[in-house]
Amino acid sequence: MSGPILSVEGLGMRFGGFRALHGVTASFPARMLTSVIGPNGAGKSTFFNLISGAFAPSEGRIAFEGRDITGTPQHRFAALGIAKSFQITNVFPALTALENVRIAAQALVSRHDVWRRRDELPGLAEEARSLLEEVGLTHRAGAPAGSLAHGEQRSLEIAMALASRPRLLLLDEPTAGMSPKETVVAMELIRRLARERTVILVEHKMKLVMGISDRLLVLHHGELLAEGAPEEIRAHPEVRRVYLGERA
Ligand SMILES: Nc1ncnc2c1ncn2[C@@H]1O[C@H](COP(=O)(O)OP(=O)(O)OP(=O)(O)O)[C@@H](O)[C@H]1O
């Protein structure tokens, strides 16, 4: 097994006097799918916002590939090799699926090539097509993004996140609002994506991620309650008590 791609030490976040997250120390192995789960209010979104740079932590450190990135502004994350896809649908509805991905890819390339017309940048259309293929949307390339089904739009957002060629992909409740059928497709996609890169997934529904995760972290009341392989988490008495509740 290779070393951790991301590690957090004593990570914490306060909102005014309220401690939403406290003392979380954990490592995320490279090329694995780790899910961060926990009941309502456990601190999952706060944790996601800290490791994706949306908030600077009130306490603790974050290291990416051995480098301290604590407090790095969010707009620098893509250049570091970290991308995220949000719960909120984030596509340009009037543009085609392909154009949406091409724009995401352009945003990175054109930063280094400001004099050229953006639509002339070489290789971008091909790059966008291969990203659409990776998320299973080739057949929808020419469709306006706004006409895609909800699940397809979420896959499109993932393709846009992949445009920065991240080594670490962060996903916040990627199946929120999906039908059961769309959820199955999304889970298969995420599992496939995790073969090529590291994925950290934040999810409320434990059952959903048990089958696809290599490892799980369980948060409860803002603290790390447990971590381990799915079978360890499933059998963990504290997790069963706080999370599975009625079946404990
Ligand atoms: N901006 C904020 N200001 C004040 N309190 C906050 C803020 N964001 C989160 N909290 C509180 O911090 C705690 C953890 O919230 P968080 O959203 O991280 O949990 P969660 O595990 O994602 O929950 P859920 O599954 O319900 O989305 C909650 O009690 C929440 O009310």
242 and 172 share a domain?
Answer: yes
Last residue within a domain, chosen from 107, 130, 153: 153
The confidence score (pLDDT) of residue 237 equals 93
Residue numbers of the domain that contains 208: 4-81+166-247
Tell me how far the alpha carbon of residue 95 lies from the centroid of ligand 1, in angstroms: 34
Q: Are residues 194 and 234 in the same domain?
A: yes
Burial class (CB in 10 A: 0-12, 13-18, 19+), 153: buried
Cα–ligand 1 centroid distance for 203 (angstroms): 14
Same domain? 77 vs 183? yes
- In a domain, residue 55? The reply is yes
Q: Answer yes or no: do 8 and 116 share one domain.
A: no
> What is the predicted pLDDT for the residue at 246?
38
Residue by residue, what is the 3-state secondary structure of 208-242? Answer: HHHCCCCEEEEEECCEEEEEECHHHHHHCHHHHHH
Could you count the other beta carbons within 10 Å of the beta carbon of residue 14?
15
11, 14, 35, 44, best to mutate for ligand 1 pocket (most atoms within 8 Å of CB): 44
Quote helix, strand, coil % in the chain, to nearest 5: 40, 25, 35
Residue 92 Cβ < 6 Å to ligand 1: no
Run of H or E residues at 72: none
Domain count, the chain: 2
Q: What pLDDT, on a 0 to 100 scale, did the predictor assign at position 89?
A: 61
Q: Scanning the structure block, which residue is given the tokens 């005014």?
A: 16
Q: What pLDDT, on a 0 to 100 scale, did the predictor assign at position 243?
A: 76
Give me the average pLDDT of each 10-residue run along the chain (248 residues): 86 96 97 94 96 96 97 91 77 93 80 54 84 95 95 92 93 91 93 94 91 96 96 93 62
On the 0-12 / 13-18 / 19+ scale of CB atoms within 10 A, 9 is: middle
The pLDDT value given to residue 245: 61
At residue 114, the pLDDT reads 52
In this prediction, residue 42 carries a pLDDT of: 95
Q: Name the residue at shortest CA distance from atom 6 of ligand 1.
A: 15
pLDDT at 85: 85
Pair (18, 135) in one structural domain? no
Per-residue CA distances from 196 to 181, 225, 236, 240 (Å): 24, 29, 30, 32
Helix (H) or strand (E) holding 64: strand 59-64
Q: Which of 128, 153, 178 is the last residue in one of the domains?
A: 153
The pLDDT value recorded for residue 125 is 87
End-to-end CA distance of the chain: 33
Quick one: which of 35, 36, 37, 28 has its CA closest to 62?
28
Based on the domain organization, do 76 and 96 belong to the same domain?
A: no
Residue 232: give its domain's CATH number: 3.40.50.300
In a domain, 86, yes or no: no
